[in-house]
Amino acid sequence: MNFELKPLTLVGLANEKCDVLVLLVPQDFKPGKDELSLLVAQAVKAGDLGAKPGQLVSLYRASQANAPRLLLVGIGEGRAKQVRAAVASALGSVKAALGKKVVLAFAAAAHEDAVRAAVLAAADATYSYTHAKSKPEPRTLQKCLVAASNATEVSASFARATATVLGMELAKEWANRPANHATPTLLGQAAQALAKLPKVSCEVLGPKEVAKLGMGSFMAVAQGSDEPLRFIVLRYDGAAKTKAPTVLVGKGITFDSGGISIKPAAEMDEMKFDMSGAASVLGVFRALAELKPHLNVVGLIPACENLINGRAVKPGDVVTSMSGQTIEILNTDAEGRLVLCDALSYAERFKPTAVVDIATLTGACVVALGSVRSGLFTSDDALGDALLEAGECSADLAWRMPLDDDYADGLKTNFADVANVAGRMGGAITAAKFLQRFTSQYPWAHLDIAGTAWKSGAAKGATGRPVGLLVEFLMARAENK
């Protein structure tokens, strides 16, 4: 879907030809003398359009607009959350009749965050997954025109939002694909396809190269599957080569059975989403290619399956990580940290300004934070503050969790340098403490997205998070240099 931003007043808006016109009306809207303004005033006076965000008046073939369907939608105070809910409600109400062109128009001057929210909501409301369907029903909407009287003032926010949509939809696409359509090899090919974009390059390492690097922990997880592992290295070179990069590390477990510590059968199909961290890294690079910030970024994706065969790693096995630290694997279903730790060690070679890993790591984080906020762990206050602020700006929220050293006590073992799990209590924190052991050479943060990367139930599917947060974080770093 193509997005366009256009400066239009309500007078000009009435002549804009489209299939659906959605007029976003704030509660303090002051009507002019044009026909659309008078229509809004009448709806407000009649009590049909009030201050409540999402309240909707639907008209067919109204004379005040050059569109078969005109929707008047309340956006309350015009805050981003209210706009997002209003756009989702409006487009959801006419989803079967959207046609090819929709206009989202602000009845008054729009705020930057409101424009971003409108774009993201429109993309999400019209997204359609078609891969692997014999009779796909693709998105029919081809163009979404965002209209605002102050379009020039919000153009930068609009550009960032449309680039973020491209990234989120790529992340959704790969996270939604079934595991047999998103193997480590196919994930590597998706990364290589990104190298066709400006300033992006890609290298994909196979089992031999990974073995030479000494990634014993990563290889231990992969050895239970017949699918060969892939270690993906993406680079976005937007600044001078002398500028140290920011590194993103995405967990790429393309299917997680739990290994010998096998998961319950119920909802195990959702473990195709266990590579959502990797998918988000792909999505970020797609957005970077659009935005072209003056910044260097490296993306690392350790990709493999966690399955069971005669070679599968067993509880009690001890493996040697790339860092040289030995790990006793007490639970083979705590495999994400085993692939991430070697990627975090690999990140040292780039001498990064910061490293952020993104992983569907623990059910404990879902219990703690649900599906609203991702868990954020870091001992670097400046990095933590930057990520939290990026989450607030992008409405892709995170919450900082503790990382006290006392939480690491449960990882002690008599048989190796560290165990891969501690007790049940504080599981998201002890998982982060495990990862922290491999990050002493740079500022590091960990995002546990187990609760936010996908939805279950009737709306089952990937959310594309935290692409929005990460894009905002990186753009802020580029702007602050």
Q: How far apart are CA 169 and CA 463, in angstroms?
A: 9
Quickly state the pLDDT bin for 302 (edges 50, 70, 90).
very high
User: What percent of the chain is predicted at pLDDT more than 70?
Assistant: 100
d(CA 317, CA 66): 69
* pTM summary value: 0.96
The domains spanning 2-151 and 166-479 adopt the same CATH topology? no
CATH number attached to the domain at 166-479: 3.40.630.10
Residues 134-162 pLDDT 10s: 988 888 899 999 999 999 999 999 999 99
Banded model confidence at residue 51, pLDDT cuts 50, 70, 90: low
Quote the CA–CA distance of 2 and 9 in Å, as a whole number: 22
| 349: phi then psi, degrees, rounded to nearest 5 | -65, -20
Count Cβ atoms within 10 A of the Cβ of residue 90 and give its class: 0-12 exposed, 13-18 middle, 19 or more buried.
buried
Q: Binning pLDDT at 50, 70 and 90, where does residue 415 land?
A: very high
Residue 423 has pLDDT above 90, yes or no: no
Right CATH for 2-151 from 3.40.50.970, 3.30.70.2190, 3.40.220.10, 3.50.30.10: 3.40.220.10
Which residue pairs from 422-428 have beta carbons closer than 8 angstroms and sit at least 24 positions apart in sequence?
A: 424/364, 426/364, 427/362, 427/363, 427/364, 427/365, 428/361, 428/362, 428/364, 428/365, 428/368, 428/375, 428/377, 428/401
Name the CA dihedral angle for 403, 404, 407, 409, rounded to a multiple of 10 degrees. 130
Pairs from 51-54 (Cβ < 8 Å, separation ≥ 24): 51/27, 51/76, 52/76, 53/82, 53/83, 53/85, 53/86, 54/82, 54/85, 54/86, 54/89
The domain locations on the chain are 2-151, 166-479
Partnered with residue 71 across adjacent β-strands are 22, 58
In 3-state terms, what secondary structure has residue 287? helix
User: How far is Cα 216 from Cα 324, in angstroms, rounded to an integer?
Assistant: 9
- Catalytically annotated residues: 263, 337
